[in-house]
Amino acid sequence: MSLLSVALNLTICRVIEENYEKSIRNIGRIGKYGMKSTDVEILNIMLGH
């Protein structure tokens, strides 16, 4: 997948918007809410659970 197609997919999915402030907010939401379960799994692996 080319970098252009990745950028187009992010735009179509409304992650990247025409306003940079909205784009930063969207990426922040992904990090805060979308990665929460990933963080838990990484900690479980690190702690040997």
Per-chain mean pLDDT for the chain: 83
pTM of the model: 0.56
How many angstroms separate the CA atoms of 27 and 23, rounded? 6
Cα dihedral sign, 31-18-3-8: positive
Q: pLDDT grade, residue 5 (50/70/90)? A: confident
Q: Which long-range contacts (CB under 8 A, 24 or more apart) does 14-20 make?
A: none
pLDDT beyond 80 at 7:
no
Q: What is the pLDDT of residues 26-46, one digit of tens each?
A: 888 888 888 888 889 999 999
What is the residue extent of each domain of the chain? 3-47
Q: Residue 10 in contact with residue 16, Cβ under 8 Å?
A: yes
Q: Is 26 left (phi over 0), alpha (psi -120 to 50) or beta?
A: alpha
Nearest in space to 29 (alpha carbons), one of 19, 49, 14, 44? 14
